[in-house]
Amino acid sequence: MNQSRTDTRPPSTDSGEKATLLAFLNYQRDSIVAKAEGISDEQGRTRGVPSGTSVLGLIRHLSAAERLWFAEVFSGGPEIGETDLDMEIRPDETADGLLAAYREAISQANEIIAACNDMDQPSARLARGDTRSMRWILLHMIGETSRHAGHADILREQIDGAVGR
């Protein structure tokens, strides 16, 4: 079943630093979600490479990364567990549930981003021994999400032939 998604282009906004960075992050987030939509739980759990990476594993990992960097590190919220960042799908986790959790993590992160009026504001907590600015966290999450969007693109094509951003 060769499904193709309309290839979406990168955002064309250039209306300020924060708005531009957020537009590019949302573009990559949307790409990840599109790769996970319409697949079964079994397909989403399929490990497509020897390292064990799966589409749903990527969604699980990115949900935790959103919470880690925006809610925990930047805002000083509750710490997430180290195992939350792994890509192991638990038996009770489903594609719908993992996508809902990712959307919730994105919504929370976007609220934190919107409330930040200074891209140089230091994080409330240290990360790897130093504070991180909102600018650094946004750029880091664009890179992290983009890298995993590429992984998800390959995995989804292996599942059912679907291609496109």
**What average pLDDT does the chain have?**
92
Helix/strand/coil for 130: strand
State pLDDT tens for residues 12-56. 777 899 999 999 999 999 999 999 999 999 999 999 999 999 999
Structure confidence at residue 12 (pLDDT):
73
Picking from 149, 122, 152, 137, the residue whose alpha carbon sits closest to that of residue 65 is 137
Structure confidence at residue 1 (pLDDT):
42
Are the beta carbons of 138 and 67 closer than 8 angstroms? no
Picking from 85, 82, 84, 87, the residue whose alpha carbon sits closest to that of residue 49 is 87
| Rounded Cα distance, 18 and 142, in Å | 12
Structure confidence at residue 15 (pLDDT):
84
Classify residue 36 as exposed, middle or buried by CB count within 10 Å of its CB (0-12, 13-18, 19+): buried
State pLDDT tens for residues 30-40. 999 999 999 99
Task: Give the phi and the psi of residue 130 in degrees, each rounded to 5.
Answer: -145, 160
Structure confidence at residue 6 (pLDDT):
61
Query: Residue 163 pairs with which residues in a beta bridge?
Result: 4
| Other CB atoms within 10 Å distance of the CB of residue 98 | 23
Domains and CATH numbers, the chain: 17-160 (1.20.120.450)
Structure confidence at residue 9 (pLDDT):
73
Picking from 61, 54, 79, 66, the residue whose alpha carbon sits closest to that of residue 152 is 54
Rounded to two decimals, what is the model's pTM?
0.91
The residues of the chain scoring below 70 in pLDDT are 1-7, 165
Structure confidence at residue 163 (pLDDT):
83
